[in-house]
Amino acid sequence: MRPLDWVVLVSWLVLLISYGLYRGRGSNTVNQFLLAGKTMPWYAMGLSIMATQAGAITFISTPGQAYTDGMRFVQFYFGLPIAMVILSATVVPIFHRAKVYTAYEYLEQRFDAKTRSLVSLIFLIQRGLAAGLSLYAPAVVLSIVLGWPDRATTIVMGVLIMTYISFGGIKAVTWADVQQMMLILSGLKTLVETGTPLQAEKAAV
Q: What are 124-166's pLDDT values in tens digits?
A: 998 888 888 878 888 888 888 888 888 888 888 888 888 878 8
Closest alpha carbon to 140 in 131, 130, 152: 152
Which residues lie closer than 8 Å to 176 by C-beta, 6 or more apart? 16, 17, 19, 20, 164
Q: Look up the pTM and report it.
A: 0.74
User: Within 13 A of 185's CA, how many CA atoms are on the CB side?
Assistant: 10
**Number of domains making up the chain:** 1
CA distance 191 to 2: 23
> What is the per-residue pLDDT for 119?
93
> What is the per-residue pLDDT for 197?
54
> What is the per-residue pLDDT for 195?
67
23 within 8 A of 148, measured Cβ to Cβ: no
CA distance 17 to 168: 10
Domain of residue 111, residue span: 3-204
Q: Is the pLDDT of residue 10 over 90?
A: no
CA distance 74 to 54: 13
Could you tell me if residue 55 is left (phi over 0), alpha (psi between -120 and 50 degrees) or otherwise beta? beta
Closest alpha carbon to 41 in 183, 177, 165, 174: 174
Q: What are 76-107's pLDDT values in tens digits?
A: 778 888 888 898 889 888 888 888 888 899 99
